[in-house]
Amino acid sequence: MHTTAVAGAIAVHGVSKWFSASDGSALQVLDNISLEVPAHSVVAILGASGCGKSTLLNIISGLVTPERGEIHINGVPAREFDDWRSVSYMFQEDRLLPWRTALRNVEFALEAGGMLRSERESRAREALKLVGLEAFADAFPYQLSGGMRSRVALARSLVLEPCILLMDEPFSRLDALTRAQMHEELLRIQQLKNMTIVFVTHDVEEAVVLADGVVVLAPRPGRVRELVAINLPRPRDTTQNATAQQAHHLKSLI
Ligand SMILES: Nc1ncnc2c1ncn2[C@@H]1O[C@H](COP(=O)(O)OP(=O)(O)O)[C@@H](O)[C@H]1O
Ligand SMILES: [Mg+2]
């Protein structure tokens, strides 16, 4: 398998991962996973709870090292890749600091970079504007709805202008209506910024509405059951026939 050296491309080659179980034995969590994420595409990793989705995303992000296989980013093996600032990770929980305003939470992502405070602040304001929250810059997390908190977390992931955005079930705690709004928002920003997005979900409809390609994982140990391309026009909604059919197919696989 070869990968073109394009900014934003990700390739996973034969990745296997073991964890130690509580009795000390080795538990295999991922088995020989291979997949490719073309630059500027949106790929979903779909599977039941516990099948290794978060572990796979952690491996792609460099947070976890696999026992076998390797990751390429922009065509370079992950261990030689030196631009991790261009890769953002949005966690399942929003992880906002309760004692900081929305603006200061977004700025937090810039604080390691030795940037001037005024520069940090103007970039953070830009990112809040991008997610439609400029009017709430001075609000604290407890003053924000779930959807707004999610937008702040998204702004914090975007403020470094990543080429690649990794997301672990980022909208799973939102109600259906707010989730649908976040999906629209995310696709708008993805188009605007031309990012590559890899996101983890157990929600078939989320995968089918957002993704260009879906990696369906089978459980224990996690392995690729099927790679499904989704070539449907956007915006999609699951009341459309073709979209519903794809969703039905994905459901049958997990
Ligand atoms: N650090 C760890 N140590 C031991 N086992 C782990 C660790 N992280 C995850 N696991 C186990 O690996 C399996 C897959 O976990 P995870 O990747 O979180 O799945 P998912 O995100 O699909 O729900 C689970 O059985 C989980 O208990
Ligand atoms: Mg998970």
Residue nearest atom 3 of ligand 1, based on CA coordinates: 19
Per-residue 3-state assignment (H helix, E strand, C coil) for 191-216? HHHCCEEEEEECCHHHHHHHCCEEEE
Domain boundaries, the chain: 10-91+160-253
Rounded Cα gap, residues 252 and 5, in angstroms: 35
Write the burial class of residue 18 (CB in 10 Å: 0-12 exposed, 13-18 middle, 19+ buried).
middle
Class of domain 10-91+160-253: alpha beta
Q: Is the CB of 53 under 6 A from ligand 1?
A: yes
Which amino acid makes up residue 26? Answer: A
Rounded Cα gap, residues 46 and 201, in angstroms: 5
In DSSP terms, 227 is beta-bridged to 215
The secondary element (H helix, E strand) that includes residue 208 is: helix 204-210
Tokens (6 digits) for 22: 């509580």
Surrounding residues of ion ligand 2, Cβ less than 5 A? 54
Rounded Cα gap, residues 68 and 70, in angstroms: 7
The pTM for the full model equals: 0.94
Residue nearest atom 16 of ligand 1, based on CA coordinates: 52
Expressed in angstroms and rounded, the spacing between residue 94 Cα and the centre of ligand 2 is 14
In DSSP terms, 89 is beta-bridged to 166
- Residue pair 13/1 in contact (Cβ under 8 Å)? The answer is yes
- The per-residue pLDDT string of the chain (254 residues; one tens digit each, 9 = 90 and over) reads 444 456 889 999 999 999 998 898 999 999 999 999 999 999 999 999 999 999 999 999 999 999 999 999 999 999 999 898 899 999 999 999 999 999 999 999 999 878 899 999 999 999 999 999 999 999 999 999 999 999 999 999 999 999 999 999 999 989 999 999 999 999 999 999 999 999 999 999 999 999 999 999 999 999 999 999 999 999 998 899 999 999 999 999 99
